[in-house]
Amino acid sequence: MSASVLYMSMSLDGYIAGPNDEPGTPGGEGFMRLHEWYGDSGPSGTGPSKASAEFLDEMNATGAVLAGRRTVEQAGHYGGDHHGVPIFVPSHRPPGPSVADYPLVRYVTDGIESAMAQAKAAAGDRNVLVHGAYTAQRALEAGVLDEVQIHQVPVLFGGGRRLFDVLPSRVELEIVRVIDTPEATHIRYRVCR
C-alpha cells in the first residue's frame, strides 16, 4: 500500500530555505547548500555517498508528488515533469492559465485530504513524495502524512523558512531509520496516530 512521505533537506536549526525565499530567488540565499548532499559538488567534492545516492533512488521511485502551490510555482511547475509522475497541488484557488502547458500537474481545490487521496490513487503501490512546509503542516494536521524523511545537513542557516514553524498541536514520531553520511544524516520517522 502507498505511503505519503515528506522528503526534505533541512539545516540543523530547522530551515528548509534561506533568507529572501521569494519568486525571484526560490529557496532563498544559500538554498543549494541544503542539496549538496546529492549533487556532484558535495563537501567532499566526490558526489553523494552510496547511502545518499540510495535516497535519491528512493525519491525517484515514488508514484506521485503532492506539493504545495508556492513550492510548485517557484519551481516553475517542475517544467511539468517531476520524474514522470503526476503532481498534485492542494490549493484554495484554481491554477493560473500556464498550468495548461503541464498535463501532469493537477490543482486540487477541495482540500488536502482529497489531494492526498488522488495522489495515492495515482501512485498505486508506490509512495507519494510530499514537498513544501505549509503542505506538510496541513497534511500532519489532517492526518494524511505517514512518514517524514529528513536529510539533516550540517549547517546552521540562522534565518529563512522553517519546516515546522507552525503546528496545531504536538505530533509524536517514531524513528524508523537513521543513516549518517559525510554529507547529511538521513532520518526517517513514522507519524504516530
pLDDT reading at 189 higher than 60: yes
pLDDT reading at 73 higher than 60: yes
pTM here? 0.90
Cell digits of residue 165: 514553524
From 42-46, 92-96, 136-140, the region with the lowest mean pLDDT: 42-46
Work out the angle at residue 123's Cα, subtended by the Cα atoms of residues 101 and 111, and round it to the nearest 5 degrees.
70
Give pLDDT tens digits for 13-34.
999 999 988 877 888 898 999 9
pLDDT given at position 47: 63
Cβ contact 137:8 at 8 Å: no
Per-residue pLDDT band for 99 (boundaries 50, 70, 90) equals: confident
- Mean pLDDT, the chain, rounded, equals 89
Cα–Cα distance for residue pair 136/104, rounded to 1 Å: 21
Q: Which residues contact 129 (CB under 8 A, 6 or more apart)?
A: 5, 7, 59, 62, 64, 65, 66, 82
Which whole number is the average pLDDT over 173-193? Answer: 93
Cα–Cα distance for residue pair 172/189, rounded to 1 Å: 10
> Helices H, strands E: what count in the chain?
4, 10
For residue 131, count CB atoms less than 10 angstroms from its CB and return exposed for 0-12, middle for 13-18, buried for 19 or more: buried
Which whole number is the average pLDDT over 132-146? Answer: 94
What domains can you pick out in the chain, each with its CATH number? 4-191 (3.40.430.10)
> For the chain, how long is the longest CA-to-CA vector?
46
